[in-house]
Structure 1
Amino acid sequence: MTIALHIVTRASRLLLLAGFCMLLLVHLSVLLLLRLGTDSLMLIGIVFACSFFSTFYLSFKYWQYIQQSQQLSISATGEMILCLESQKEEQLTGLSVHLSHKSRIWPYFLSLFLVDELGKEHKLLILPDSLSPAAFRSLRVSLIWISQHG
């Protein structure tokens, strides 16, 4: 068996759902606080609705911005190449990276901190819906091997 693989991640809908649930809880707590201070139910409803929809819209736009697809290539020897798309140009640049000690490899969650030659840290959050199940499992096994033999 080889640890070599090439993956292209996609935006995680689980992460978006978790973020929306947290925002909903925040808005419900604000609604309770507003309800204690005033008796005007119409005013509370308008403030809550405006805040709720604007926050969800801005959160969705931010999620789209930060959840661009990432490409990671792992060679059979454990060397990793992270492909980044430059903002000004439509071309990919590959960086040779290694796994940081801060990375967490859990069965259903990969929080990767990759450090390039210049010492810049690149963060990747990979949830099971970011890849196919087979690719997620292969990536997890490869990263465990790299962390033990790196």
Structure 2
Amino acid sequence: MCSGYISPEYANFGLYSLKSDVFGFGVLALEIVSGSRNRGFRHPDHHMNLLGHAWRLFMEGRPLELAAESIAITCYSSEVLRSIHVALLCVQDKPEDRPNMSRAVLMLGNNDSLPQPKHPGFFTERDLLEASYSSRMSKPSSANECSISVLEAR
């Protein structure tokens, strides 16, 4: 699972498009609103990354809970909600569902109704083993934790 700004289509298939940049913009927007990074995000109730957490709150009708306290205090809630909504539109799994960058900027600056976002890419819940390794900021040298021998000629 990718945890940064790389779009699913690029990470999975090496396909890059203008919609790949939009994905990264959406991740960055969620990071700004929440005050948390997507990579290494932790929540006591689940093991989702920031995208999964934002999606979950949005679907439960509690998107403002994503906002960092400093954002919630200093910004209008309607602007915070709109930023979260547009960010979720930008991080949708399929590139054809994402707006292009100029449309995303336009959506942030107007009051037009927004379409319902579809699930984001890379939002699945991490398993406990991966969460344990990422919390120590180290990864095993192999998936099954086998040692790797170095062969040397005689």
Give me the TM-score of the superposition, normalised by structure 1: 0.25
- Larger Rg, first or second structure (1 or 2): 1
More strand by share: 1
